[in-house]
Amino acid sequence: MTHIVRKNVKGDLIEAGVWRGGASMLMKAVLDAYGDTKRHVVLADSFRGVPKPKQPRGDHGDELHRISGYLGVPREKVQEHFSRYGLLDDRIEFVEGLFEKTMPQLAGRRWSLIRLDGDLYESLMPPLEHLYDGLSRGGFVIIDDYNTFPQAEQAIADFREQRRVTAPLRRIDEHAAFWCKS
């Protein structure tokens, strides 16, 4: 976030898969702390949990839909979290629905940060396919649970190969990874 603001990397920020909204709240708080009043933070989610995979891949990600009661935090609850910390304003955008339906409407926008927390192959590919072309040079793709779900790792490998992305993929911790678009 500080790199994006200090280097003036153009574009809004999006989190695809927001759960309770914590990472998006941090994005907005950092923008506010730096006095950045132009960028928007987009929260894209079904707000109902993880859908049952259309094409099971034979790993534990296939079962995430079974805990949708836990993972499905309603939009109103996420908005309450933003409000509680004074972060809810007209620069916070909510995009509700499954990524295969919602990501095409976001294509063509400029992004400085794309944070992906879709976990499943079919939840990660639509954001990558529709948003990546709008990612500015010096912008970041962050994949939560990259090292947790084999489906996430496979989606990222397939996308990077298809698009010939050569920027180094770096681990953040035991779960997440990122790359910076050059």
Using the CB atoms, write b or e for 93-114: b if 16+ within 10 Å.
ebbeeebbebbeebeebebbbb
Q: Which domain holds residue 120?
A: 2-180
Plot region of 19 (φ>0 → left; ψ -120 to 50 → alpha; else → beta):
left
The CATH number of residue 96's host domain is: 3.40.50.150
The per-residue pLDDT for range 126-164, each reduced to its tens digit, is: 999 999 999 999 999 999 989 888 889 999 999 999 999
Torsion of CA 152, 13, 31, 96, to 10 degrees: -90
Total tally of structural domains belonging to the chain? 1
Do the Cβ atoms of 41 and 135 come closer than 8 Å? no
- Across 22-44, average pLDDT: 97
